[in-house]
Amino acid sequence: MHESAMQRMEECIRKYMDAGRHYDVLDFGSFINVGQTMSHRELFDRFDCSITGVDIHEGRNVDVKMTKPYRIPLKSGSQDVVITGQVFEHIPFPFASMLEIARVLRPGGLLFMTVPSRGHRHSKYDLWRFYPDSMRAFAAYSDLELLEARTDWPPKNGRRHDYAGIDATMHYWGDTLGVFRKGQWRISPWRAFHRRVVTSHANRIGDLSKVPIPKPRKTRVPATGALSRP
Give the pLDDT confidence of 119-152 residue by residue, as tens digits: 999 988 999 999 999 999 999 999 999 999 999 9
Q: Which residues does 199 contact at the CB level (< 8 Å), separation at least 6?
A: 70, 71, 96, 99, 100
Task: For residue 196, name the pLDDT band (cuts at 50, 70, 90).
Answer: very high
Q: Which amino acid is at 72?
A: I
What whole-number distance in Å separates Cα of residue 210 and Cα of residue 213?
Answer: 10
**pLDDT score recorded for residue 218:** 83
Give the pLDDT confidence of 164-190 residue by residue, as tens digits: 999 998 999 999 999 999 999 888 899
**pLDDT score recorded for residue 87:** 97
Indicate whether 228 pLDDT > 70: no
**pLDDT score recorded for residue 52:** 97
Query: HSE (CB half, 13 Å, CA atoms) of 40?
Result: 33
**pLDDT score recorded for residue 230:** 54
Q: Name the least confident of 17-31, 36-50, 114-128, 194-208.
A: 36-50
Give the pLDDT confidence of 9-33 residue by residue, as tens digits: 999 999 999 999 999 999 999 999 8
Task: For residue 201, name the pLDDT band (cuts at 50, 70, 90).
Answer: very high
- Catalogue all structural domains in the chain, each as residue range(s) with its CATH number: 3-205 (3.40.50.150)
Query: The pTM is what?
Result: 0.91
Q: Provide mean pLDDT across the span 65-74.
A: 97
